[in-house]
A = this chain, B = another copy of it.
């Protein structure tokens, strides 16, 4: 009894999203259950399923917010100075963001849609939008190489950095990367950019 009448449906939706985010942030996806969420918001698990059809939909919303937040962080990264410096700052922003709430970031890697359900189109678009600032920063460094190559280089760099952040936020491979998550990312960007300079020399 009690809280059932206190919240509007929109408020309740928001409460559930916040509580779920908090749980994932604290204990990771494996510690998440409808029961635990319900307990935190003070409603019954049944109420949860009145608001969200299933946990997957709820998790996708949280992932979407995380991707939006990172996109916002990248968009507000200082764009001054030479393109290589800009790129370094973007990658550094990306990496730092993932380390702030590692378990929440891991959600992107750990949460799989159940068999038969596709990841929605908007999700792919949000991931794609993380690539845009990298691509923009890379373009001036690529000295007129063709657009396909530009896209590939941005994806290579993104996939490498993304892979490193995931290794760094997962516990299992910590022995290899713990001392060096950031130093590996720095080395990657420096060496990759030096390589681009060599492969795409200015005319």
Contacts and interface: CB of A to CB of B under 8 A. Distances in A.
B152 A159 contact: no
Interface of A: 27-28, 30-31, 108-115, 119, 123-124, 127-128, 131, 152-153, 155-156, 158-164, 166-167, 170-173, 175-177, 180, 183-184, 187-188, 190-199
Nearest to A172: B119
B156 A187 contact: yes
B128 A176 contact: yes
A202 to B, nearest CB: 14
Contacts of A161: 163
Residue of A27, A114, A153, A194 most packed against chain B (CB within 10 A): A194
**Majority SS of interface residues in chain A?**
helix
Copies of this subunit: 2
Contact of A195 (B111, B156, B171, B195): B195
A151 to B, nearest CB: 9
Nearest to A151: B180
A152 B184 contact: yes
B124 A187 contact: no
Contact of A160 (B111, B128, B131, B188): B188
Contacts of A111: 172
Contacts of A175: 119, 124, 127-128
B183 A152 contact: yes
Contact of A109 (B109, B123, B184, B192): B109
Nearest to A164: B159
A197 to B, nearest CB: 7
A152 B187 CA distance: 8
